[in-house]
Structure 1
Amino acid sequence: MTARTLTNVVNDQTVALNAFIFGYAGHSLVTPHAALQQVWWTEERINEKVTREFITSRLQPNERRWLERPVGFGDLTDDTYIDWILERARRLFLVLAEVGEADKIFTVVEHSWDDDDLPLQMEDIEQLSLSNKRDDQVNIRFYHTQFTYLLRVLSQGVHIDYAPNEVLPLEYVMGLPPAVTLQHWSRVHLPKKPREVYVRRKFPLGNAECPDAFESDFLMDVESAKMVEHEHIAPVWASYTLKGTGYTLSNFVGQHTLKTYIEHRNPPQYQRLPKPERRYLLLGWLHCLADAVATLHQNGFCHSSIRPSTILIDDHNNIAFSDIDSLETFQKDKKPDPMEIYIYSAPEVHISLQPLDAEIAKPTSGRQPSRHKLTKVPTNDFSGFNFGFKRTKPAPKLRSRIHETEKADVFSLGCIFLDILTFMLKKKTHEFVKHRSSKQKIITGGKNSKTDSSFHANLERIDTWIKVVEDASFQHEEDAFRAVPHIMILIRGMLSRAPVIRPTARDVRDRLLDILIQHTAIPNVHCGAHIHDTVLATTSLSGSDQASTMTSSRASMSTISTDSSDADTIRFSGLSPSTRVSSILNSYSDRSSTLSDISELDDGASISTLSLDTPHPPPFDTRPCSPRGHHPPIASPISPRLSNTPSFAESTRPSSPTGSTRSRRSAPWNKPFILLP
């Protein structure tokens, strides 16, 4: 008699599940209503299950007397059979008990096998002589059953290559976010941890011709994403591959995109906040997003597609970019709106595309061109009744990287800022769209429109809308609205038509911090202190060398060249705000004296580390945006009002709690996995 008896299969939980499936769950007094939970054979569960009592209960009386005898190779160890099972072969005993051959555990011990030898190959299983005349399929059952107890659980920073036979230790969360665009990203949790929810995304690793064509790209992009640790960029918590598909898990669980959040007008998590906190929240979002983009640029990345649909907001009003759009892997599971991409992109992105769009829109000889033109192609293949006529397919258009620059990110970020402030002043989105739209036929992404509501094509109308929002802010007396006119001046610079005029992301971040501290009574500034401003590493490379380095590693840092003019002397007037600003700035070390310690070597390609005196902590909570769960021990220099701040070099990031495991990858088993019928 095997352990999988009728009483194990038909119980109160399976009855409840069947009742739920067939539609009468909750209507019967005899149907249990407890939640059905998956049984996971974790290490703790196995240790609790396999005890002396359990082992003796699965053996015959004449077999139990062998348990206290020394093992057959007693010259090498003093263990008894029961000691060997409890210390080394708990999983093996569970597998044998499941297939009804618990007495074969003595053969396992005599072969000196333990749980580390799992999974066993078929030739090893045959040595146990499990098969008999009654049941010749027991070897096959043993092979498949062993994977139930070989549970490799995902952990932070780890990548696992799961074999097709393995059990995936994840459970679905039965709940969907309000944003429809996020509903195809499933929610899961680990065994026995229903409160720790993760967003799972899936990506194909190949195609019909080559099943693993994209696997190396997937692994490279996952590692690249892990290099940029920021609280406002949804992290890759863990990753795995299974049956030709790659998966990533993120512990940032978005409920809304910024687009759906604004269109909702009254999202529940926003309404739960008192009104003053709502305004501080939105102003803080501006600074946090700027800090995230600045961190991307410091690490050699461009986001390349900043728009409302790529920004997530969770149930606690935390905001983050869904991923780094310039990493190709993370775009494969999205269905982007071409019109939204067009609306929020920078002017220089469409300079080369306008003539192409005009040619597409231009009619030919008064007739519309055929969508699928048939052409004659030479062929000798008559299979499938193919007589040489095939539909011509347009050549796949490669993604252009020419205009993916840091200044293009700044323009798109300025558009996002204007959307958020419009929402803050309770202006309706459709009014803003109508105000900036112009009558101009556009064709983008296969979609036609008679009006152009993009930011880059209607900068004059955008400027008048900025004036509308500014005037609306003067009608409010709360201190949060005093920052709006100053932020609008910054947004005007970010939306400049010429990329060279736009500020850098770091300038935007520092200027926003300056505005929030001077003109509002915001209790704390999230992302206020920057650990990467304290210790810098400088790298000087030639243009070609730097391009090749970024192409190969996707993480090269830009060059820094700073003189003494970067350390501005800032004088503020006023009482409380100026006192706070002065105390912060005075606590920081002078940047010019710090950068003077940089030593330039012959080829300019070496790295020198800067050292700073430990500054005094700031007088208020800045809650820096360091990696999750990690806060820097000291405050770091902030220079608000930098007009010509150069791009950063490689920043020495703080050690993460997962620093030892972030690059750790679980090695795949080197044993063959046999797929048996």
Structure 2
Amino acid sequence: MSSRTLTNVVNDQTVALNALIYGYAGHSLVTPHAALQQIWWTDERINEKVTTDFITSRLRPSEREWLDRPVGFGDLTDDTYIDWILERARRLFLVLAEVGAAEKIFKVVENSWDDDDLPLQMEDIEKLSLSSKRNDQVNAKFYHTQFAFLLRELREGVHIDYAPNEVLPLEYVMGLPPAVTLQHWSRVHLPKKQREVYVRRKFSLGNTESPTAFESDFIMDVESSRMIEHEHIAPVWASYTAKGTGYTLTNFVGQHTLKTFIDHRNPQQYQRLPKEERRYLLLGWLHCLADAIATLHQSGFCHSSIRPSNILIDENNNIAFSDIGSLETFQRDKKPDPMEAYTYGAPEAHISTQSFDPEAPAPSPNIGTTRKPSTASKSSSGSSNSSASQRQKLTKTPTNDFSGFNFGFKKNKPAPQPRSRTNETEKADVFSLGCIFLDILTFMVKRKAHDFTKHRSSKQKINTGGKNSRTDSSFHANLDKVDTWMKVVEDIAFEHDEDAFRAVPHIMNLIRGMLSRAPNIRPSARDVRDRLLEILLTETAIPSVHCGAHKHDIGIATSSNSGSDRASTMSSVRSSSISTVSSDADTIRHSTTSTMRVSSILNSYADRSSSLSDISEFDDGASMRTIGRPVPPPISTSHGSSKTSPPPPPTPPMSPRSSKSPASPRSMRSSSPSSANRTYKITPWNKPFLLLP
């Protein structure tokens, strides 16, 4: 290719194409050398741009004199016009200066508008009278220009409703996880923060019949998920809605699911660890997962979807549940595997194995009460959010009345037959968790997951609709074969001298209780967690147990020494058991456990209603809010007996919407644009996340 031909090819268009393909804006088609960076109007850049000198340079001399005068409503504030601009309206001034109407900033201040009111709607822009005569082109220019400078950055605990033309402050990370099932969850980072990577999940907020059918569900499920903070439950770091779609960001970046991790057999991140640390890691996973489920149960939630595909592992071998399975919003972006749900389900959830069809789609979960979509208004620009009410997020009163439900279908359509959730209880979670434990221990002794599946599969085939048939490999239908496999794992553990394998037989005895066919015989998640901690500290030389402090417990003293005291106590039990006979060790272990165990997990489920009453009523006119975490009320405990006293009967929870509840405080300044005529309708939320066994 001649130099003339190359010169003709390398032009502005090819440079832009080069930047689009490679991510760099180089002047060579094959050797890009200059990074193309997105221009973000962040708060830092706005502060550097809009200074006193910049403001005065955009105003006439006669207009500059007004800058040092008190604002028009000086009785409420001592600020001058320049103070108001620098503290509250830098972006507004920048937009006005861009359209050539910087002098209108005084009218903006007199209306007590600030950057939080962006984006302005057309009727508000017309009030500014940007030109002497009505000029729709100038107004339209202001409307479109404001989005170039409006950058509402996502922060932890914040939900933002972005306008259709608003800039989303996110950049994609060019990298995919090894697990194919996780690759549809994109990786993003915030502007100028390339090292802080987040996983973004996408949820549709409506359907063809109603574009906002699931919007209120999305908001409420996000708020409910924030009530649980645990290191081993992937958190909702931030959330936002844009163009009819809801998004959540989490800072737990999973590289594998537990299923792909086990199927891989030799994950690179796992192989980098020394052999002894690998075994301690797997044993620690058991305790951490049990602690997460115990926290869920103490907070009034059931997971109801414990299976390997819903457990994530990041590049540092940290493990966490991807979400809370009982929150329906977080199941919409997944491809459910009915066979996996059946395999890891509890016996009471599948009464008849012959009627199971693994090829059939997963049935929709049943809802205990009516969930009505929010009737809050939403502006055309999308600057208002849809969570305007104070809601009751959880109810503890079980009910069997399923009449009069509204599932969002038209009346002329036949009502669907949803799957009942009466069997999705805490005990069902314990059963599924025991299945997960067996998978992890099978991986620990280097046995193939396929061999375990083949071993427990029954020879009798189940009917799959008359066309096909498959062997039943579920845990609940083959408990006898599961028990023989547990003996195989125990025999392998006895062949090893490492102390980590000494804990396997004790854990197997615990799993046998978790896999009991009768739900009432299974231990609680809290008992499972406490027993695991005892086994790890007395049977192994594990240097530390993550989550060993059990700081998430409700009803236990929250002093900083409580967790360390328990760990030190258990450590002393471990050292004592080494130098004494087994009977003495059992006595010490039993005494320690009896002393430290609280008499009741929760005195009453109704206690949570008091914590829910503290949830503030959100103003529908605001499109950004911070979602706080309610603080649970103190619960009295008793340490005098090893037996757990039964909690008193639950009392019906009171709705947080009460006639005696104080109204939301109003702001002293003028209302935001186009919000004076809005009306709000509060819709309480009575959706139960679980039914008591």
Q: Structure 1 length normalisation: TM-score? A: 0.70
Indicate if the aligned counterparts of 2:233 and 2:323 stay in contact, CA closer than 8 A. yes
Indicate if the aligned counterparts of 1:286 and 1:417 stay in contact, CA closer than 8 A. yes
Partner residue of 2:282?
A: 282
Indicate if the aligned counterparts of 1:70 and 1:81 stay in contact, CA closer than 8 A. yes
| Cα deviation code 1:344-373 (max 9, x no counterpart) | 112222114634769x9xxxxxxxxxxxxx
Partner residue of 1:573?
A: 577
| Cα deviation code 1:157-186 (max 9, x no counterpart) | 222233333322222222211111111112
- Supply the AA of the counterpart residue of 1:493: G
- Supply the AA of the counterpart residue of 1:575: S
Partner residue of 1:498?
A: 518
Partner residue of 1:197?
A: 197
For 1:90 and 1:222, the matched residues in 2 are separated by 32
- Supply the AA of the counterpart residue of 1:399: R
- 2:319 aligned with 1:322, yes or no? no
* CA drift at 1:461: 1.6
Partner residue of 2:365?
A: none
- Supply the AA of the counterpart residue of 1:573: S
Partner residue of 2:657?
A: none
Partner residue of 1:90?
A: 90
Percent identity (aligned): 70
- 2:499 aligned with 1:479, yes or no? yes
| Cα deviation code 1:57-105 (max 9, x no counterpart) | 656xxx3574356568789779887666445542223112333444655
For 1:443 and 1:337, the matched residues in 2 are separated by 18
- Supply the AA of the counterpart residue of 2:147: F
- Supply the AA of the counterpart residue of 1:19: N
Within-5 A mapping of 1:508-523: 508-523=528-543
Residues 79 and 455 (structure 1), Cα distance of their counterparts in 2 relative to 1, 3 Å cut: closer
- 2:407 aligned with 1:407, yes or no? no
* CA drift at 1:234: 1.1
Within-5 A mapping of 1:512-591: 512-531=532-551, 533=553, 535=555, 573-575=577-579, 590=595
SS, match of residue 38 in structure 1: coil
Indicate if the aligned counterparts of 1:202 and 1:333 stay in contact, CA closer than 8 A. yes
For 1:289 and 1:447, the matched residues in 2 are separated by 39
- Supply the AA of the counterpart residue of 1:671: S
* CA drift at 1:299: 1.8
For 2:356 and 2:259, the matched residues in 1 are separated by 29
Aligned residue among 63, 67, 76 for 2:64: 67
Within-5 A mapping of 1:332-343: 332-343=332-343
- 2:660 aligned with 1:671, yes or no? no
For 1:50 and 1:327, the matched residues in 2 are separated by 45
Indicate if the aligned counterparts of 1:342 and 1:444 stay in contact, CA closer than 8 A. no
| Cα deviation code 1:200-221 (max 9, x no counterpart) | 2222222222222222222222
SS, match of residue 160 in structure 1: strand
- Supply the AA of the counterpart residue of 1:452: D
Indicate if the aligned counterparts of 1:99 and 1:138 stay in contact, CA closer than 8 A. yes
SS, match of residue 164 in structure 2: coil
For 1:517 and 1:437, the matched residues in 2 are separated by 35
Within-5 A mapping of 1:345-356: 345-352=345-352, 354-355=354-355
For 2:286 and 2:165, the matched residues in 1 are separated by 47
- Supply the AA of the counterpart residue of 1:247: Y
- Supply the AA of the counterpart residue of 2:20: I
Greater Cα shift, 157-166 or 523-532:
157-166
- Supply the AA of the counterpart residue of 1:457: A
Partner residue of 2:219?
A: 219
Within-5 A mapping of 1:265-414: 265-352=265-352, 354-355=354-355, 396-414=416-434
Unaligned segments of structure 2, at least 5 residues = 1-9, 361-411, 558-571, 611-627, 632-636, 651-663, 677-693
For 2:176 and 2:308, the matched residues in 1 are separated by 20
Indicate if the aligned counterparts of 1:441 and 1:450 stay in contact, CA closer than 8 A. yes
* CA drift at 1:405: 1.6
Within-5 A mapping of 1:623-638: none
- Supply the AA of the counterpart residue of 2:230: H
Within-5 A mapping of 1:585-604: 590=595
Partner residue of 1:248?
A: 248
Residues 492 and 146 (structure 1), Cα distance of their counterparts in 2 relative to 1, 3 Å cut: same
Partner residue of 1:259?
A: 259
* CA drift at 1:583: 10
For 1:498 and 1:604, the matched residues in 2 are separated by 24
Indicate if the aligned counterparts of 2:323 and 2:330 stay in contact, CA closer than 8 A. yes
For 1:582 and 1:421, the matched residues in 2 are separated by 28
Indicate if the aligned counterparts of 1:96 and 1:102 stay in contact, CA closer than 8 A. yes
Partner residue of 2:623?
A: none
* CA drift at 1:317: 0.7
Indicate if the aligned counterparts of 2:96 and 2:104 stay in contact, CA closer than 8 A. yes
For 1:422 and 1:637, the matched residues in 2 are separated by 39
- Supply the AA of the counterpart residue of 2:472: D
Indicate if the aligned counterparts of 2:72 and 2:110 stay in contact, CA closer than 8 A. no
- Supply the AA of the counterpart residue of 2:529: R
For 2:545 and 2:579, the matched residues in 1 are separated by 19
* CA drift at 1:246: 2.1
For 1:605 and 1:354, the matched residues in 2 are separated by 40
SS, match of residue 159 in structure 1: strand
* CA drift at 1:25: 6.5
SS, match of residue 439 in structure 1: coil
SS, match of residue 515 in structure 1: helix
Aligned residue among 443, 456, 467 for 2:487: 467
Indicate if the aligned counterparts of 2:24 and 2:36 stay in contact, CA closer than 8 A. no
Indicate if the aligned counterparts of 2:298 and 2:554 stay in contact, CA closer than 8 A. no
Indicate if the aligned counterparts of 1:503 and 1:643 stay in contact, CA closer than 8 A. no
- Supply the AA of the counterpart residue of 2:64: L
Partner residue of 1:176?
A: 176
- Supply the AA of the counterpart residue of 1:431: D
* CA drift at 1:511: 1.1
For 1:58 and 1:50, the matched residues in 2 are separated by 11
* CA drift at 1:414: 1.1
For 2:111 and 2:522, the matched residues in 1 are separated by 72
Greater Cα shift, 431-440 or 517-526:
431-440
Partner residue of 2:233?
A: 233
For 2:579 and 2:12, the matched residues in 1 are separated by 67
| Cα deviation code 1:248-284 (max 9, x no counterpart) | 2222111110000011111121112111111000000
Residues 14 and 35 (structure 1), Cα distance of their counterparts in 2 relative to 1, 3 Å cut: farther
SS, match of residue 523 in structure 2: coil
- Supply the AA of the counterpart residue of 2:514: M
Q: Structure 2 length normalisation: TM-score? A: 0.69
Indicate if the aligned counterparts of 1:178 and 1:255 stay in contact, CA closer than 8 A. yes
- 2:164 aligned with 1:164, yes or no? yes
SS, match of residue 67 in structure 1: helix
| Cα deviation code 1:23-65 (max 9, x no counterpart) | 7979854865343332222222101011344446656xxx357
| Cα deviation code 1:413-461 (max 9, x no counterpart) | 1111111011111111222222222223335699944322211222222
Larger Rg: 1
Residues 577 and 35 (structure 1), Cα distance of their counterparts in 2 relative to 1, 3 Å cut: farther
For 1:481 and 1:316, the matched residues in 2 are separated by 23
For 2:337 and 2:167, the matched residues in 1 are separated by 37
Residues 254 and 67 (structure 1), Cα distance of their counterparts in 2 relative to 1, 3 Å cut: same
For 1:403 and 1:337, the matched residues in 2 are separated by 19
SS, match of residue 427 in structure 1: coil
* CA drift at 1:471: 1.2
Within-5 A mapping of 1:47-58: 47-55=47-55
SS, match of residue 485 in structure 2: helix
Aligned residues between the structures: 552
Residues 76 and 203 (structure 1), Cα distance of their counterparts in 2 relative to 1, 3 Å cut: closer
For 1:28 and 1:66, the matched residues in 2 are separated by 46
- Supply the AA of the counterpart residue of 1:67: R
